[in-house]
Amino acid sequence: MELKGKKVLVTGAGGFIGSHLVEKLIEIGADVRIFVRYTSQGETRHIDKLPEKDREKIEIFMGDLKDFDAVKNVMKGVDVVFHLGAVISIPHSYKDPQEFLETNTLGTFNVLMAAKEEGVKKIIITSTSEVYGTALYTPIDEKHPLQAQSPYSASKIAAEKFAESFYNAYGTPVAIIRPFNTYGPRQSMRAVIPTIIAQALTKDKIKLGALSPKRDFNYVKDTIDGFIKIAESENSIGEVINVGSGNSVSIGEIVDTIKKILNKDFEVETDEERIRPEKSEVKVLICDNSKAREKIMWEPKYPLEKGLKEVIDYILENIKDYDTEKYHI
């Protein structure tokens, strides 16, 4: 399905990945509608950072994913839905698991039900590599067992299963994308890469949690390309598709690479508050992206060091927006 000229809805559009997706959809000529969580200030978060010429092309709806009527209303006349709306912080999911159940699972159910009732032609549900838990084998393909090692991952597994059930029971044209660890400009300090960079740019000693966990870091432009190709391809309907680089690096190795790029030898201090519970910490994630390559002709293009340099440049330009004195969850 060609997206140019199609009415496209993006939930969670104000977030890091969502805002980049909106930007790309405008670039390719889609008619973009966004659904963002209502606040009394009318904030659209990262959408505010887009060029004015792009913002003028966006139709904005505000509401709550937990409100079915609001979700159904925003779905009217839509051809394609990219559902990214979610609460995402793993540490925060330890403190408020009910919010994750209600927003991520019930919210996804509402999107699926509304899309079904409104006859939407394609729904892309955003999951996460966290549903795999610590790898039982590597690289991780889509058949790897799902392991709920945090309330966040449990909420996304449940959301996935509702999407699967709608495809099997009703023939709803659903595809599920499982992005691995996306990073890039606009990402907040709830994520490890901007946490390292923002501290390294302003301090000689930085605070981190465990350095040994290994992650598959995928640059945001590559992740967005995965979303677009999944939406465009008829081969993705009813499928779960990993989107990741296929390379795994430890947090300690990311630190060393950033030291090299900045030409700065900062000290790393372990902050116990940032250490996750032993059974909840995912030790290794590495993506098997062969299904994405075969089904939707997607492949990653950004080397890690190139992507890190772009994030460093962005944070340097926006350093006032990064509070390095607190632990962000």
Task: Please write the tens of the pLDDT for every residue from 207-225.
Answer: 999 999 999 999 999 999 9
> Of 262, 286, 273, whose CA–CA distance to 204 is shortest?
262
What is d(CA 144, CA 11) in angstroms, rounded to the nearest whole number?
28
- Distance between terminal CA atoms of the chain? 38
- What tokens appear for 194 in the block? 């901007």
Q: Domains of the chain by range and CATH?
A: 7-183+219-243 (3.40.50.720)
- C-alpha angle with apex 12: 18 to 123, nearest 5 degrees? 85
Q: Give the phi and the psi of residue 241 in degrees, each rounded to 5.
A: -130, 125
The answer on pLDDT for 300 being more than 70 is yes
Q: What is the pLDDT of residue 325?
A: 82
CB 184 within 8 A of CB 20: yes
Q: What H or E segment, with its residue span, contains residue 252? A: helix 251-262
Q: For residue 153, what are the contacts with CB-CB under 8 A and spacing of at least 6?
A: 90, 128, 130, 131, 133, 147
The answer on pLDDT for 167 being more than 90 is yes
Task: Please write the tens of the pLDDT for every residue from 11-56.
Answer: 999 999 999 999 999 999 999 999 998 776 667 889 998 999 999 9
Region 89-94: mean pLDDT is 91
Q: What is the pLDDT of residue 280?
A: 82
pTM assigned to the model:
0.95
